[in-house]
Amino acid sequence: MRPFIALCLFVFTSSLLWSQETSMTVKAQVINAQNKESMSAVHVINLTQIKGTITDQEGRFTLTAQANDTLYLSYLGFKPLKVRVTSDMFRFDNTIELTELAYALEEVVLKPYQLTGYLEIDVRRLPVEDAFQYSISGLSVGYEAGSRKPNAASKVLGAILNPADLLRNIFGKQPRKMRQLQQMKQDDAINDLLASKFDRLTLQELLGLEKVDIEDILTNCNYSKSFIATANDLQILDAISECYESYRVLNRKQ
Average pLDDT for 151-174: 59
Q: Which of 250, 207, 253, 248 is nearest to 233 (CA)?
A: 207
Domains of the chain, each with CATH number or no CATH: 24-128 (2.60.40.1120), 131-252 (no CATH)
Confidence of residue 254 (pLDDT cuts 50, 70, 90): low
Average pLDDT for 104-126: 61
151 CB neighbour count, 10 Å cutoff: 9
pLDDT of residue 73: 96
Rounded distance, CA 20 to CA 14, Å? Answer: 10
Q: What is the 3-class SS of 107-169, one letter each residue?
A: CCCCCCCCCCCCHHHHHHHCCCCCCEEEECCCCCCEEEECCCCCCHHHHHHHHHHCCCCHHHH
Rounded distance, CA 207 to CA 140, Å? Answer: 23
> Which comes out higher in pLDDT, residue 120 or 84?
84
Q: Which of 54, 73, 79, 67 is nearest to 26 (CA)?
A: 67
Question: What are the two backbone dihedrals, phi and then psi, of residue 89, each rounded to the nearest 5 degrees?
Answer: -70, -20
Average pLDDT for 116-123: 66
Rounded distance, CA 162 to CA 251, Å? Answer: 9
Helix (H) / strand (E) element for 86: namely: none
Q: Are 227 and 184 in contact (CB under 8 A)?
A: no
Confidence of residue 106 (pLDDT cuts 50, 70, 90): low
Does residue 227 surpass a pLDDT of 60? yes
Rg of the Cα atoms in the chain: 24
**What b/e readout covers 98-109, taking b as 16+ CB neighbours within 10 angstroms?**
beeeeeeeeeee
Query: What are the tens digits of pLDDT across the range 167-226?
Result: 777 777 777 778 788 888 889 989 999 999 999 999 999 988 899 999 988 988 889 999
Percentage above 90 pLDDT, the chain: 42
Query: What are the tens digits of pLDDT across the range 29-86?
Result: 999 999 999 999 999 999 999 999 999 999 999 999 999 999 999 999 999 999 999 9
Confidence of residue 22 (pLDDT cuts 50, 70, 90): very low
